[in-house]
């Protein structure tokens, strides 16, 4: 853009990056070892860093320590999983109990049944099934929707991420030149290795655009098995649904017999006890959960109306060796019933508002083209003056400001997600002091970038 913010951002990147490199020499050494046997030196490509990631050694409460021994306040939250914080005594106790009595049988145990009951209570579902990751949950929900409707085409939201199975890897982060028109976004794959013909099974519509969905449904409603969406888009910062949007899509799906699927992998158990379903009062036919429901262990679930879920009893395959095993079920049940209590959500909401308001004040004071979003445990700073409505707005955010903020805050003891598409996660173990550390580092950043 070439204004003073850009000039200062470039200078900050040049000054802060060498400091970060100097403070993370053990990470660099571990990267050099890791890349011998792990592509990009990481377990998952989302963990990669340029030129290397910061490797962590441990976490306690709301803090993490990297392999160089540096302590940070953790706002990364394991990409949104650690709303319980690290090593919470209730979770440690649940995992310890499971470790002593058997972590895996591939036979359903009582704790798994109790975990299912709690998920159904929270999210107003008739029935659930378990999986091991958000990817599996959305893959299975789409299978069930296709089986229940006898239709094949999947509708998703342009620019949304639902995991890494082929059907949903279209129109995730399309480049501006490959996006096609707003009326009918092109179905561009996010990865190599996806057969080009798969594009015909996935169509996209922009978020917060009822007319675009209406047009598609009028033309092709009878081909659509489902519409899968994050009720709050959380892979381009945070984009809220406009008032009435979810209700209108709910009505459209009902009218055309299309299964409406909420992907609550990020929002479930974070933005409210009952996730976006509670926050917006709109009930989908199916909903997918992962991340925070496991209390830091790898589990996932999807569920919804009995009339849709019952197709599992009539020929739709849903299975997995590790699904709902007693280790993850014990941790998940303890997280949902003993840690993430109604009081915990009050605490998360207070902390979230303290953080978002503190950052918003600094933004206003220094006139940054940015805004904050506050959803309790989840929130973000987006480098665009007006709130985002959809993916196309995200392409207008000031990437260079994010890129300067990242080394700046990390160098000041704030551990954040690498990537401006992410957002912060606050845990029940965070304190006001932790929040103020972020606000202080960010306010200093605002002053420097606006100087
Ligand atoms: C909204 C959403 N759905 C699905 C997934 C996939 O989950 P997982 O990484 O556990 O496969 C993610 C991951 O970030 C996500 O944000």
- Residue range 379-408, pLDDT digits in tens: 999 999 999 999 999 999 999 999 999 999
pLDDT of residue 88: 98
Distance 451 CA to ligand 1 centre (A): 38
Which one of 77, 165, 265 would you pick to mutate in the ligand 1 pocket, going by the greatest count of ligand atoms within 8 A of its CB?
265
* Ligand 1 binding pocket includes 290 (Cβ within 6 Å): yes
- Residue range 161-219, pLDDT digits in tens: 999 999 999 989 877 677 777 777 777 788 999 999 999 999 999 999 999 999 999 99
User: Is residue 383 annotated as a catalytic residue, yes or no?
Assistant: no
* Ligand 1 binding pocket includes 163 (Cβ within 6 Å): yes
Question: Is pLDDT at 131 greater than 60 in this prediction?
Answer: yes
Burial bucket for residue 329 (CB in 10 Å: 0-12, 13-18, 19+): buried
- Residue range 104-129, pLDDT digits in tens: 999 999 999 999 999 999 999 999 99
Distance 269 CA to ligand 1 centre (A): 14
Question: Is pLDDT at 312 greater than 60 in this prediction?
Answer: yes
pLDDT of residue 173: 83
Lowest mean pLDDT segment, chosen from 119-133, 160-174, 289-303, 324-338 = 160-174
- Token pair of 83, please? 């709303």
Banded model confidence at residue 2, pLDDT cuts 50, 70, 90:
confident
User: Is residue 245 annotated as a catalytic residue, yes or no?
Assistant: no
- Residue range 43-82, pLDDT digits in tens: 999 999 999 999 999 999 999 999 999 999 999 999 999 9
Per annotation, catalytic residue among 127, 156, 266, 291: 291
Ligand 1: atom nearest CA of 300 is 10
* Ligand 1 binding pocket includes 265 (Cβ within 6 Å): yes
Distance 49 CA to ligand 1 centre (A): 19
Which one of 45, 135, 267 would you pick to mutate in the ligand 1 pocket, going by the greatest count of ligand atoms within 8 A of its CB?
135
Ligand 1: atom nearest CA of 290 is 10
pLDDT of residue 320: 98
Question: Is pLDDT at 156 greater than 90 in this prediction?
Answer: yes
Share the mean pLDDT of the chain: 96
pTM: 0.97
Distance 271 CA to ligand 1 centre (A): 16
Distance 134 CA to ligand 1 centre (A): 5
Looking at ligand 1, which residue's alpha carbon is closest to its atom 13? 163
pLDDT of residue 1: 57
Which one of 44, 130, 134, 286 would you pick to mutate in the ligand 1 pocket, going by the greatest count of ligand atoms within 8 A of its CB?
134
Question: Is pLDDT at 143 greater than 60 in this prediction?
Answer: yes
Looking at ligand 1, which residue's alpha carbon is closest to its atom 8? 134
- Residue range 52-63, pLDDT digits in tens: 999 999 999 999
User: Is residue 124 annotated as a catalytic residue, yes or no?
Assistant: no
pLDDT of residue 164: 96
* Ligand 1 binding pocket includes 162 (Cβ within 6 Å): yes
């Amino acid at each position: 853009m070439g204004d003073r913010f850009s000039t200062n951002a470039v200078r900050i990147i040049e000054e802060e990056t060498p400091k970060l490199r100097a403070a993370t020499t053990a990470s660099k050494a571990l990267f050099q070892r890791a890349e011998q046997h792990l592509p990009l030196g990481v377990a998952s490509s989302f963990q990669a860093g340029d030129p290397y990631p910061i490797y962590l050694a441990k976490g306690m409460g709301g803090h993490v320590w990297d392999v160089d021994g540096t302590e940070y306040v953790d706002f990364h939250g394991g990409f949104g999983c650690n709303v319980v914080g690290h090593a919470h005594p209730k979770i440690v106790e649940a995992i310890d109990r499971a470790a002593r009595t058997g972590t895996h049988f591939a036979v359903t145990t009582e704790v798994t049944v109790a975990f299912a009951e709690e998920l159904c209570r929270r999210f107003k579902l008739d029935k659930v099934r378990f999986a091991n990751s958000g990817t599996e949950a959305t893959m299975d929900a789409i299978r069930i929707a296709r089986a229940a409707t006898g239709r094949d085409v999947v509708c998703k939201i342009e620019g949304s991420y639902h995991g890494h199975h082929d059907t949903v890897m279209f129109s995730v982060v399309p480049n501006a030149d490959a996006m096609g028109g707003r009326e009918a976004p092109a179905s561009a794959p996010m990865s190599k290795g996806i057969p080009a013909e798969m594009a015909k099974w996935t169509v996209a519509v922009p978020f917060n655009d009822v007319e675009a969905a209406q047009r598609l449904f009028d033309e092709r409603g009878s081909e659509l098995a489902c519409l899968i969406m994050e009720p709050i888009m959380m892979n381009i910062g945070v984009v809220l649904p406009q008032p009435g949007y979810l209700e209108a899509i709910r009505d459209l799906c009902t009218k055309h017999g299309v299964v409406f699927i909420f992907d609550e992998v990020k929002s479930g158990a974070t933005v409210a006890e009952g996730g976006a379903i509670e926050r917006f009062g709109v009930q989908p036919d199916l909903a997918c959960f992962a991340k925070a429901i496991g209390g830091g262990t790898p589990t996932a679930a999807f569920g919804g109306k009995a009339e849709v879920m019952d197709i599992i009893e009539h020929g739709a395959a849903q299975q997995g060796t590790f699904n709902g095993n007693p280790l993850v079920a014990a941790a998940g049940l303890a997280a949902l019933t003993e840690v993430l209590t109604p009081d915990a959500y009050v605490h998360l909401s207070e902390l979230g508002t303290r953080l978002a308001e503190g950052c918003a004040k600094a933004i206003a004071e220094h006139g940054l083209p940015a805004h904050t979003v506050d959803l309790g445990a989840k929130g973000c700073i987006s480098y665009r003056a007006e709130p985002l409505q959809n993916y196309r707005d995200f392409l207008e955010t000031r990437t260079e400001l994010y890129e300067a903020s990242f080394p700046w805050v990390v160098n000041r003891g704030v551990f954040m997600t690498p990537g401006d598409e992410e957002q912060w996660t606050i845990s029940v173990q965070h304190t006001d002091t932790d929040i103020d550390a972020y606000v202080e580092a960010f306010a200093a950043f605002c002053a420097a970038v606006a100087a």
